[in-house]
Amino acid sequence: MAWIKRNLFFVIGGILAIGLLGAAGFYNYQGWNHNSVAFDQLNEIYGTLRNLTSQKPSAGNDKVNNIEAAKEQERQLREWIRQAGDYFKPIAPVPNPPNGMVSSEGFAAALRRMIDQLQHEADGASVALPPQYNFSFKAQRDLVRFAPGSLEQLAGQLGEVKTIAEVLYAARVNALDGIQRVRVSDDDASGPQADYLDDHSTTNNLAVLTPYQITFRSFSPEIGAVLAGFASSPHGFIVKGINVQLAGAAGTMSPNPVGPALAPGAPPAPGRGGLQAMLNEQLLRVTLVVEVVKLLPKK
């Protein structure tokens, strides 16, 4: 005890040193254990990744050839894309200069020529038009300078309006009352409301969709011909809506809008061989909403 008393500070320092060494050893053990667990996990992940990267898709067996099946599916997909593309051919703008740059002078001249051409085509197809009809381009009809940045869009719309009108002419509708398009130019603000549709083009991952509203008068067979014309067109048309009324009863829906109607207030007239004509076709007024689908360029 006397020695401890004489060396008290040495004893206390030794005890503290032993405690510190123990704590350091415990800390090192915890760190080593943590590192060991983490290293084992890393080795496990690396082993799984190496196993996955070393695997190869099976080529099949004597009954199934997966490689040939994949090639055939790819061929079918490419063929489907090619066939679908035949129904989404772009409509040429008017005018359509080789360099794609539409000038004010070029568009002004092309617009006047196209309006005259569509009027003459309507006469040839016996399709009635409103007096001095400008096919929704009244605001631009007499201009020689156009709002900046609008010429390409106007040229595209003129080509689309031409194509739509010619579908109606081919169906031999009785009358074209109007075609409405979306506004694409500041000049459109001065045009008559009847020329425009309160809507806008939309773009998705595949295409730009531009709506038009068409109003015409015809009998039911011509309505079918119009719908068939849009369906068989090489260009992308989607009929979004149709409203059919009796042409002589604006605002009143026909009870049988797309078929023949009974003659009001008249008994059936006798037909040949004693048969009676039960139906008498009536003129219909049709409002059609159509979207033009323009595929985006391939990336």
Query: If pLDDT is split at 50, 70 and 90, which confidence band does 48 have?
Result: low
Q: Is residue 35 part of a domain?
A: no
Mean pLDDT for the stretch of residues 55-64: 60
Q: Is residue 79 part of a domain?
A: no
Q: Is residue 27 part of a domain?
A: no
pTM: 0.67
End-to-end Cα separation, the chain, in angstroms: 93
Q: Is residue 166 part of a domain?
A: yes
pLDDT digits (tens, 9 = 90+) for 183-224: 999 999 999 999 999 999 999 988 999 999 999 999 999 999
Query: If pLDDT is split at 50, 70 and 90, which confidence band does 5 have?
Result: low
Higher-pLDDT residue of 95 and 298 is 95
Q: Residue 20 pLDDT more than 80?
A: no
CATH number at residue 218: 3.30.70.60
Q: What is the number of residues in the chain?
A: 299
Q: Is residue 250 part of a domain?
A: yes
Q: Is residue 274 part of a domain?
A: no
Q: Shortest CA distance to 95 belongs to which of 104, 86, 87?
A: 104
Domain encompassing residue 127: 85-254+281-295
Asked if the peptide bond before residue 211 counts as cis, ω within 30 degrees of 0, the response is no
Taking every pair of Cα atoms in the chain, the longest distance, rounded to a whole number of angstroms, is: 149
Q: Is residue 44 part of a domain?
A: no
Q: Is residue 225 part of a domain?
A: yes
Domains: count for the chain: 1
Mean pLDDT for the stretch of residues 116-124: 98
Query: If pLDDT is split at 50, 70 and 90, which confidence band does 158 have?
Result: very high
Q: Rounded to whole angstroms, how far apart are CA atoms 122 and 116? A: 10
Q: Residue 254 pLDDT more than 80?
A: no
Cα angle: 120, vertex 209, 167; to 5 degrees? 25
> At a CB cut-off of 8 Å and minimum separation 6, what does 138 contact?
191, 192, 195
- The reported pLDDT for the residue numbered 205 is 85
